[in-house]
Structures are given as C-alpha cells and as structure tokens.
Amino acid sequence: MDHHSQAGQPAKLILDGNTFELPVVVGSEGEKGIDISKLRGQTNYVTLDHGFGNTSNCESAITFLDGDAGILRYRGYPIEQLAENTSFLEVAHLLIYGELPTAEQLSHLSERFTEHSMLHEDMKRFFNGFPSSAHPMAVLASMVCSLSAFHPGIDMTNPTGEDFDRIAAQLMSKVRTIVAFAHKKSIGEPFIYPRGDMEYVPNLLNMMFSSPTKEYKIYDEVVQAMKVLFILHADHEQNCSTSTVRLVGSARTNLFASVSAGICALWGPLHGGANEEVIHMLEMIQKDGGGIDKYIDMAKDKTKNFRLMGVGHRVYKSYDPRAKIIKQCVHDLLGKLGIDDPLLDIAIKLEERVLKDPYFVERNLYPNVDFYSGLIYKAIGIPKDMFTVMFAIGRMPGWIAHWKEMMEVPGGTKIGRPRQIYVGPTKRDYIPIIKRGLV
Ligand code: ACO
C-alpha cells in the first residue's frame, strides 16, 4: 500500500562509521515510520523490538488509533459516532469494504447473513465430541477452522472477489450460530436454530436463551448494549489477534483458518481473555470482603504474579475511549434492568484508585475496553466463560477486513517471517551418548 503514504526526509543511521539513509513514510494522520525493510541487505544488521512495540508490520487504511490522545476511528469515523448511531452490520461493511453501505448494500448483506446462518448438519455432531466443560473459545476456534472443511474455499487467484464476499458472510453469520450452539451444549439444552426474521443481535440472543418450551424476551436495552459492545470490539488495528490473522494469512492461508488462529490469540488473559478475568478478580475481591487495598498493593508488587485485569494497554496512554463508552453503557443497562450489582461498586472503587495512585498514573495505566464489558455480559446472563467468545464475534469484521486488505496489496503481501538475534550455544560437536557417561 505504498501509494497511501507520503515520503518524509530520509533518516540517517551511522553504523560502523558508515552512514545509511533509510526512507521515512508518513501516514495520512501524520504518523511517521522509518522503513527498515532494506536495512539487512545494506548493513547486515537487523532490528530488535520485543513485543513489536515500535514495529509496523504494514500500512493499513482501516483503523486509526492515537493512544496518547485517546482517539479511535474506523475508516475515519470516530468510534463514539459509530457506537451511537450505526448498526453492527453497517460497521462490518464499513470495515470490510471501506465505506458505510447504501440501503441496498445493507439489505444485500443482511440477506447473505440469513442465507449463511445455519451450520452444515454434520457440523452439529462436532459439539457432541467436546466435554460439556470445554471452554467455548476452544470450541469456537476448532469450529471456525472446521468451516474450511465444509465450505468451498476462495479462488486464491482472485482472493477478494465473489468467493470472498460469500466466505466473509458465512464466517460472520455462522460464528453467531456456533457460539449459541456451544452455549446450549454446555448447559445440555437442544440447539435453537437461527431465524430469518431477526436481526443480528436478537437472533444471537434468541439462539442462546430461548428453548423449545420458553421464548426469551428480548429487551431493546440489551440489544442496544450488545450492539455497542460489538461495534467497539470490531477492530483495533494491529493488536495481538489481528496481527496473528495477518501473519497466518500472509502464507496465503484461507480466511477461516487465519481467523481461527486469531481466535486462539484473543483467548489469552492479556488480550481478549481479560474480560473474563476482570469478573474473576472482582468476585475474588468481593469474597475477600470488598476491600481493594490488598489488591492494589499486590498489583504494584513485582514479586507477586498479579496484575489488575482490565487495566493498562500497549497503545493507550490515556483513557481508552472504548472504556469510556462502555462505562456509560453499564450504568444505563443496569439502571434500565433494575440490577444492583455489587461488583460494579468494586469496579468503580478500583478505577478511582487507579486514576489517583502514583504507580498507575506514572505508568499511564487506565481502565481498558475489558474493564467494564464483563459487567454488561453478566447483567445479560451470559456466563463468564462466554465473554471472550462475545469479543470474538465483535472482532470478526476487523479480522476479515485485515485479511482482505493484505490480499489486495499489489503483487501480494510478503510472507510474515521475523528475524531473531540468536543467543544459544555456539558450534559444538556431537558426542555419542555412551561417551557422555549417561548410561
Ligand atoms: N496491573 C499492574 N501493573 C501493570 C498492569 C496492570 N494491569 N499493566 C501494566 N503494568 C505495569 C507493568 O508491570 C510495567 O511496570 P514496570 O514498568 O515497573 O515494569 C508497566 O506497567 C508497563 O507494562 P507492560 O507489561 O510493559 O506493558 P505492555 O504494553 O507490554 O502490556 C498489557 C499491556 C498486556 C495490556 C498490560 O497492561 C496488562 O497485562 N494488563 C492487564 C491485562 C488486560 O487487561 N489485558 C487487556 C488489554 S485490552 C485488549 O487486549 C483487548
């Protein structure tokens, strides 16, 4: 995507007495990067950047994030405006295809979702192979990868053509059915099939919570809260799971398998798994009497392997704009449903301390997207181990958009293949085991 960036003054690097010029690229929001892709060829040096904190893996036109200013925009649109005014499908279209849909495009997308909402009947048998205690993220990752065994793949000579539109719709629509079926399996109830007359979020809630003997009452407030969460989760540029999707996809791996890898990355407690961990932490504090001092101290103590979950972010060094919206959403939803959750009081106390305590202030640690989202899911009646699965549904458009963007790079994106600095033993000769005196 070189055509998207302007060129800045080249950077100069002095190595072993020689000066090398490195091109500088400037993004559309003025972000600057030093292009080191030719560095090794010119100098025999590579760069070392643990956790990729300073390394851009691509140029991307999907999401803009300014972590210092607390700004998040999808394709230029501020997240606050999208969360308030759009539907999840509109945002999915925006992220994947670059523009908000026309009414005709939106109804076409919705029809495609209905067409692809059911699972192949043979896939239902897979659910029986899992123990009812299986973590839903394990089920989701396996089932999403298995979709590639049931549905014709993309013609990779034209990876973003008609086939892509079908597979993207299949993925986004079927993932909802997989999640609902996984829930039904875990509680031992019969599957409830998707309906053609329901929109995205109500359809999911109906599949999860209705049963043959009882229809689940879908409240507008619940639909609204889930829609907002899905939109806030829909993309977040080169985070751990999206980078995983891109890395796997860079080998020209199919979309289902690439996204399945992203789901595995999201599962980790330092990433999307944090929403589940936050509730565990709040419950632990509650059981312990509700006092937060001990936990604040533990989080600051480097000898204890404990962090405040839902706090801190690699990129946001000010308040996560998504957390701001979600915090308001928790208050609205709990108020409307008449729920008084003591965990919310503990969360508010924790946040107040985090915003004042020098340890967190000095390190720019603020509540992140996961700090309050679990309280919404809990209020809706979604079990804790399903929280990260909900995040995965929301992140689907972002993963798909990044896979597509990568496939559209003229000439194809280079396969992802980082370097390393080897620090193991230098050359030594093999000695047969008998001579090593081990037998
Ligand atoms: N509690 C206590 N201390 C923390 C926390 C926390 N939650 N987060 C970071 N710190 C401290 C670190 O110990 C470190 O301190 P030091 O400088 O004295 O060594 C400093 O803040 C910087 O932390 P890093 O781990 O270097 O920051 P990094 O950018 O690598 O990590 C991360 C970001 C993983 C999000 C981290 O803040 C964390 O573990 N948070 C808790 C888990 C969480 O909420 N994850 C969800 C993130 S949002 C998402 O992925 C959807």
What DSSP character marks residue 91? H
Cβ 270 under 6 angstroms from ligand 1:
yes
pLDDT tens-digit profile of 307-338? 999 999 999 998 899 999 999 999 999 999 99
Give the Cα separation of 197 and 315 in Å (integer).
40
Residue nearest to atom 15 of ligand 1 (CA): 363
Mean pLDDT across 8-24:
93
Note whether 348 and 199 are same-domain residues: yes
173: CATH = 1.10.580.10
Cβ 280 under 6 angstroms from ligand 1:
no
54 in Cβ contact with 36 (< 8 Å)? no
> Residue 380 pLDDT > 90, yes or no?
yes
> Residue 439 pLDDT > 70, yes or no?
no
Domain assignment present for 407: yes
Q: Find where tokens 């994947």 sit.
A: 96
Note whether 125 and 176 are same-domain residues: yes
Give 141-190 as a 3 state SS string: HHHHHHHHHHCCCCCCCCCCCHHHHHHHHHHHHHHHHHHHHHHHHHHCCC
Give the Cα separation of 225 and 390 in Å (integer).
12
Q: Find where tokens 């839902």 sit.
A: 310
Q: Active site residue: 370, 385, 402, 429, which one?
A: 370
Site to probe by mutation for ligand 1, drawn from 79, 311, 361, 388 as the one with most ligand atoms within 8 Å of Cβ, is: 311
Q: Let me know how long the chain is.
A: 439
Note whether 195 and 48 are same-domain residues: no
Return the number of other C-beta atoms located less than 10 Å from residue 218's C-beta: 17
Cβ 368 under 6 angstroms from ligand 1:
yes
Distance 283 CA to ligand 1 centre (A): 21
Site to probe by mutation for ligand 1, drawn from 263, 270, 318 as the one with most ligand atoms within 8 Å of Cβ, is: 270
Mean pLDDT across 366-392:
94
User: Nearest-CA neighbor of 61 among 82, 75, 79?
Assistant: 75
Note whether 120 and 213 are same-domain residues: yes
Work out the pLDDT band at 438, boundaries 50, 70, 90. Answer: low
What DSSP character marks residue 213? T
> Residue 233 pLDDT > 80, yes or no?
yes
Distance 333 CA to ligand 1 centre (A): 29
Cβ 310 under 6 angstroms from ligand 1:
yes
> Residue 288 pLDDT > 70, yes or no?
yes
**3-class DSSP state for residue 20?**
strand
User: What pLDDT is recorded for position 412?
Assistant: 81
Distance 273 CA to ligand 1 centre (A): 14
Which residues lie closer than 8 Å to 75 by C-beta, 6 or more apart? 61, 62, 63, 94, 95, 98, 99
53 Cα nearest atom in ligand 1:
29
Q: Active site residue: 233, 313, 320, 402, which one?
A: 313
In the chain, how many domains are there? 2
Note whether 57 and 164 are same-domain residues: no
Cβ 365 under 6 angstroms from ligand 1:
yes
Note whether 150 and 230 are same-domain residues: yes
> Residue 2 pLDDT > 60, yes or no?
no
pTM of the full predicted structure? Answer: 0.94
Residue 25: which domain range?
A: 5-66
Cβ 369 under 6 angstroms from ligand 1:
yes
Is 313 a catalytic site residue?
Answer: yes
Site to probe by mutation for ligand 1, drawn from 54, 307, 366, 370 as the one with most ligand atoms within 8 Å of Cβ, is: 307
User: What pLDDT is recorded for position 404?
Assistant: 96
Give the Cα separation of 41 and 264 in Å (integer).
35
Cβ 272 under 6 angstroms from ligand 1:
yes
Domain assignment present for 346: yes
Cβ 354 under 6 angstroms from ligand 1:
no
Cβ 299 under 6 angstroms from ligand 1:
yes
> Residue 265 pLDDT > 60, yes or no?
yes
> What integer best gives the mean pLDDT of the chain?
94
What strand order describes the sheet that includes 6-15?
Answer: 6-15, 18-26, 32-34
Residue nearest to atom 37 of ligand 1 (CA): 312
Residue nearest to atom 4 of ligand 1 (CA): 307
Give the Cα separation of 278 and 288 in Å (integer).
15
What strand order describes the sheet that includes 71-74?
Answer: 63-66, 71-74, 77-78
**3-class DSSP state for residue 249?**
helix
Distance 89 CA to ligand 1 centre (A): 32
- % helix / strand / coil in the chain, to the nearest 5? 55, 10, 40
Domain assignment present for 179: yes
Largest Cα–Cα separation, the chain: 79
Work out the pLDDT band at 132, boundaries 50, 70, 90. Answer: confident
Residue nearest to atom 24 of ligand 1 (CA): 314
**3-class DSSP state for residue 64?**
strand
User: What pLDDT is recorded for position 7?
Assistant: 80
User: What pLDDT is recorded for position 4?
Assistant: 52
Mean pLDDT across 160-173:
92
* Tokens read off for 33: 């990067």
User: What pLDDT is recorded for position 5?
Assistant: 67
What share of the chain has pLDDT > 70, as a percent?
Answer: 98
Note whether 304 and 391 are same-domain residues: yes
115 in Cβ contact with 177 (< 8 Å)? no
Note whether 210 and 347 are same-domain residues: yes
Residue nearest to atom 10 of ligand 1 (CA): 312
Mean pLDDT across 369-375:
93
HSE-CB at 5 with a 13 A cutoff on CA atoms is 20
Q: Which of 45, 66, 87 is the last residue of a domain?
A: 66
User: What pLDDT is recorded for position 156?
Assistant: 77
Domain assignment present for 434: no
Give the Cα separation of 293 and 120 in Å (integer).
52
Note whether 224 and 282 are same-domain residues: yes
User: What pLDDT is recorded for position 3?
Assistant: 46
Note whether 208 and 59 are same-domain residues: no
Domain assignment present for 94: yes
HSE-CB at 282 with a 13 A cutoff on CA atoms is 27
Mean pLDDT across 257-265:
98
Distance 312 CA to ligand 1 centre (A): 5
CA angle 368, 369, 375 (to 5 degrees): 110
Is 183 a catalytic site residue?
Answer: no
Give the Cα separation of 154 and 150 in Å (integer).
13
Residue 412 φ/ψ region, left for φ over 0, alpha for ψ in the -120 to 50 degree band, beta for the rest: left
Q: Residue 429: exposed, middle, or buried by beta-carbon count in 10 A (0-12, 13-18, 19+)?
A: exposed
Site to probe by mutation for ligand 1, drawn from 314, 317, 391 as the one with most ligand atoms within 8 Å of Cβ, is: 314
Domain assignment present for 177: yes
Residue nearest to atom 32 of ligand 1 (CA): 313
Give the burial string for 396-423 (b: 16+ CB within 10 Å, else e): bbbbbbbbbbbbeeeeebeebeeeeeee
Note whether 129 and 27 are same-domain residues: no
User: What pLDDT is recorded for position 1?
Assistant: 45
> Residue 66 pLDDT > 80, yes or no?
yes
21: CATH = 2.20.28
196 in Cβ contact with 116 (< 8 Å)? no
User: Nearest-CA neighbor of 366 among 317, 306, 304?
Assistant: 317
Mean pLDDT across 127-153:
93
282 in Cβ contact with 343 (< 8 Å)? yes
How far CA 24 is from CA of 2, 31, 122, 357, 396, in Å, comes to 12, 10, 53, 39, 32
pLDDT tens-digit profile of 84-129? 999 999 999 999 999 999 999 999 999 999 999 999 999 999 999 9
